[in-house]
Amino acid sequence: MNYVYLFIVWLLTGSIAYAQDCPSLGVPSIKLTKVGFSTEKATASFCQGERVQLNALTNAKTVTYQWQRNGKNIDGATGSTLLVDQSGAYTVMLYRTDSCPDSTTSAATIISANQCGSTGLLPIIGGQLEDYNGNAESLSSMLLRAAYLTNSTSLSKFPPSIKAYVYRKRDSSSVATVVMVRGAVLDGQYTPLPAACNGDSSRINSVVYFGSINFLPSVNDPAGYFMTTEPVCCREVSDNVKGTGPVVFYMEFGDRTKYKISAPKSTFGGIFNLPTRVETCVNQPVRLYNYAYPGVNFNKTVYSLVSPSTGDASTPIKDVTWASTYNANSFMETTNPLQISGTGIITGTPSTVGTYRYVVKAELYQDTFKGFEIRRELSLQVKECPAVTTPSIFISAVGKPSERLKSTLCENGVVQLNAKSPLKDVDFQWYRDSVAINGATDSILITRQAGRYTVLVTKELACPRTAFSSPVSLTISPNPTVKLAVSSSAGSLCQGNSFTLSAASSATGATYSWQRDTATIAVATSSFYRTNLAGSYVVTVTDANGCSGRSTALPVVPNLLPEATLASAASTTSFCPGSTLRLQANAGSGLTYQWLKNDSPIAGATSAMYEAGTVGQYKIVVQDANSCTAVSSAKTVSAASVPTVRINGPAQLCRSMSVNLNATGNEPLLQYTWLLNGTSIPGALTTTYEAKSGGLYQVRVTNTNQCTAISSSWTLTEIDKADIRFDSIPALCGTDGMPVRLTGTPAGGVFSGNGVSGEQFSPALSGLGSHEIVYTFTGTSTCQGGSAKRTVLVRPLPDVNVPSELAIQPGESINLPGPVNGNYQYNWTPTLTLDNPTIARPMARPDSTTTYRLAIQDQFGCESSASLVVYVESRLYIPDAFTPNGDGQNDVWELRNVSKLNNVDVTVFNRWGTIVFHSSGYTTPFNGQDLPDGPYAYVISYGTPKKRQTGQVMLIR
């Protein structure tokens, strides 16, 4: 039984290379084992009702599994193992579940679940059906022999008898059935054969069945006969044939009447020689001898390669299904193609390790008559035969094969034994003190026990099949011991002071590694360590054998230093001239003090408080009951500056009004307090104060050093307010009027606003609308000045929108189109030819051309006027068609009343804009002679001033 490892080289694709690092997902392999075991091998061919376990082998961690049978997913098969009891091609797909999406599929593992007899699966290496008769001239029968080649452990599983069937070739109809019984003499014999390995040998055992059939002249069908054995399961696994189905042997014989017996003691047919080789080495030339021994009655033998035969209940015989790329004449992968010679010798050079099955056909002839055909099936194992197969062992850290270790194992230590073999895809078994270690079947062994270790490497298709490594002995060395102690040169162990840690160890040639609070101290490598840092200290000692001992943790907790803080009683670090700044140290039980100025002790300054009256840097030294001392940070004491402040603002205050007084100090962050007549004003604490009464004002300021100053007095006097007036201005009509004079009191002020020029308002400058005018008077004080406002309204004139001229025929009348507005008053002149001159649109009937004037006044008294001319003249009539066909009617384009008009000019154009007629005065009408029918454009001008009419006239015949 073999492990089956199938590997495919995974090609990395660009889709994996994102901005992140995504290693490729390697192709998994499938390992066959017994159910419930991961290391006990199983075979891919077994009897129906049995099961094997498929194990997915991969180094990937974050993956899921999906098993497939014949390319289709198996429901629920999502684990790393699968139990199977059906034939098929099994694969497993891996899907990555981390942030690098990827998937891959294993190569297929072919499983064959066979229908076996009561004795189970029979591993058949090969064999043949042949004629074993040696007395053909006296016996009219063929003595049949069916030989099955197998291993010695399977001899007892073969049945006591089998059947063979005779068919007529012409129509494959059944002729006879022969029962063949196992032979007592030859059955179970073994044949030693040359092996692939030097000094080794291989052997095969034979299971032989005998039977006979009559071969009388009545067996005379011209097409001959063929004979098959019943299917016997099963054919051993091979790389070139799919599955491991039943084996069927085949033989042919011809028409008995054509068969000539020319010599005594001969067979009708023939037999094959014993197999000469069933294994060889890869990449080495091989010769496979497959002689047939025909009866002396035959004079020619033809050899060829054919497919092995199988069968079932419905089809007694058929060819096996070859694996991909294989066939009868190419039954293995070779660099020098295998060929069979005319003498039955197969030669060539195998290039791939594996097991390959082939069938040699021998056709026996008497001249041109084919009397017999026999076939032999056989397998050839191609093994890997390296020059060196002995594995080796080396010792390393666990999980780190590149980190080699010595053979001495430290107490409680663990090492990794690594087996290295020149062969690939091998099985391992580890031994300690010559005893196999249960379950130790990987290429590595993790151990913490002393002993003599070897590894046995096994590969079914290797030569030799097994090899032991040289032994590696592991010894155990006890770990060294170590103790820690701490000391300080200052006596007291105070925080911040240095102390020394010492390690006392039993180790020789030791190295030291120190840790503080589990963190390694890189610079600490000797037996002592000097530091001033508190913590839990541990030292690890490693002796010359690499064995380590670890001390018990030593907590080092120095006495805490007393607190030393310094603060000033005020929120400042400066003192005002003539005063002191109180400095205060922290209080506590059992503390003593010493004040320092500029780092020198101040004589007698040994209390928790000190009044500093000079400039300098002050510190406090505090000592506790453990004699541990601490020095505060320095506080710089300086002489504070005196602030200054002044007031600015108006000197006068209008009665019942207010003004802003502003204080300006010489420092930032000053505090302000306003005073009136020497008394603080409640709430007046900003740089600006809104004064509402007269008096003497001051401001007091205090800086951050609490130094104060007061400003000089500011006198604010209350006075009365002046009366400013501005005369009203009447509304104006339009923008064409004369400027209006403006008047304000008291005199001497300034007018401003839209339309103002000096002391006049001009509607021409302001335009229509409402305009605000301001009169501003400036006195000697704010109270004596001020302003007054008036609004001037400039109204628009009435809208007189009439046409400049109208025209009527003599004797006609017309409405004059004045604008209609209920707020307007109308006055038309002259009134003689009007029906009502005081309405918007009176009726006019002039006898001759007349100019009318319209005057309008709106409801505000604003007036405007306009004129229009009514022309009294004859009207020109222009026909839109005429018919110059000579019938005396409309033969010309007649323009009525044209003779009553002056300055007449007529031009006619065709469709392309070419002038086809022109007349000044139009004394000769347009007759359209020699012109085609159709539309014509015209332009007619007449009168003074000129009038112009355009249009289109149709010429119709």
Q: Write a three-state SS string for 827-880.
A: EEECCCCECCCCCCCCEECCCCCEEEEEEEECCCCCEEEEEEEEEECCCCECCC
Element (H, E) at 374: strand 369-383
> E strands, 544-641, where?
548-550, 554-556, 566-568, 574-575, 581-585, 592-597, 600-601, 609-612, 616-623, 629-631, 635-639
Quick check: 241 and 322 in contact, CB under 8 A? yes
Pick the CATH number of 482-556 from 2.60.40.10, 3.30.200.20, 3.90.550.10, 3.40.50.300: 2.60.40.10
Pick the CATH number of 725-795 from 2.60.40, 1.10.3470, 3.30.70, 3.40.1350: 2.60.40
> E strands, 103-140, where?
103-105, 109-114, 126-131
Q: Show the tokens assigned to 805.
A: 């001229």
Instruction: Give CA 273 to chain center in angstroms.
Output: 69
pLDDT along the chain (957 residues), means of 10: 30 36 79 84 78 88 91 92 89 88 86 69 88 71 88 84 94 93 66 63 80 86 94 87 89 90 75 81 86 86 94 86 90 80 89 90 94 92 78 91 88 90 86 92 91 88 80 89 83 80 86 92 90 90 86 88 82 79 88 91 90 89 86 88 90 85 91 93 93 92 85 87 83 88 87 90 89 85 80 90 86 91 92 92 91 92 90 83 90 88 92 93 90 94 87 93
Q: How far apart are CA 525 and CA 839, in angstroms?
A: 126
Integer angstrom CA distances of residue 171 from 167, 168, 224, 502 = 8, 6, 10, 104
List, in order, residues 6 or more apart from 682 with CB less than 8 Å away: none
Q: How far apart are CA 588 and CA 885, in angstroms?
A: 142
CATH 3.10.310.10 fits 805-872, yes or no: no
> E strands, 472-522, where?
472-477, 482-487, 499-505, 511-516, 519-521
Q: How far apart are CA 494 and CA 65, in angstroms?
A: 63
> E strands, 124-200, where?
126-131, 141-150, 161-168, 173-182, 190-194
Q: How far apart are CA 93 and CA 458, in angstroms?
A: 29
Q: How far apart are CA 913 and CA 930, in angstroms?
A: 17
Element (H, E) at 763: helix 763-766
- Nearest in space to 29 (alpha carbons), one of 44, 60, 52, 7: 7
Residue corresponding to tokens 């059955």: 187
Q: Show the tokens assigned to 244.
A: 């491991």
Quick check: 132 and 144 in contact, CB under 8 A? yes
Class of the domain covering 566-639: mainly beta
Residue corresponding to tokens 């082939």: 358
pLDDT at 13: 34
The CATH code that applies to domain 645-719 is 2.60.40.10
Topology given in CATH for the domain delimited by 392-477 = Immunoglobulin-like (2.60.40)
- Nearest in space to 752 (alpha carbons), one of 735, 768, 736, 765: 765
Q: Show the tokens assigned to 70.
A: 């014949």
- Same-fold call for 566-639 versus 881-955: yes
End-to-end CA distance of the chain: 120
Q: How far apart are CA 439 and CA 441, in angstroms?
A: 6
712, β-bridge pairs:
none
CATH superfamily of the 29-114 domain: Immunoglobulins (2.60.40.10)
CATH 2.60.40 fits 881-955, yes or no: yes
Instruction: Give CA 373 to chain center in angstroms.
Output: 69
What residue segments make up the domains of the chain, in order of their start? 29-114, 123-383, 392-477, 482-556, 566-639, 645-719, 725-795, 805-872, 881-955
DSSP 872-903: E-PPPB--SEE--SSSSSS-SB--BTGGGSSS
Quick check: 392 and 460 in contact, CB under 8 A? no
How do strand 769-777 and strand 760-761 relate by DSSP bridges?
unpaired
Query: Exposure string (b/e) for 380-407, b if CB count within 10 Å is 16 or more?
Result: bbbbbbeeebebebebbeeeeeeeebee
| Amino acid type, 819 | P
Element (H, E) at 710: strand 708-710
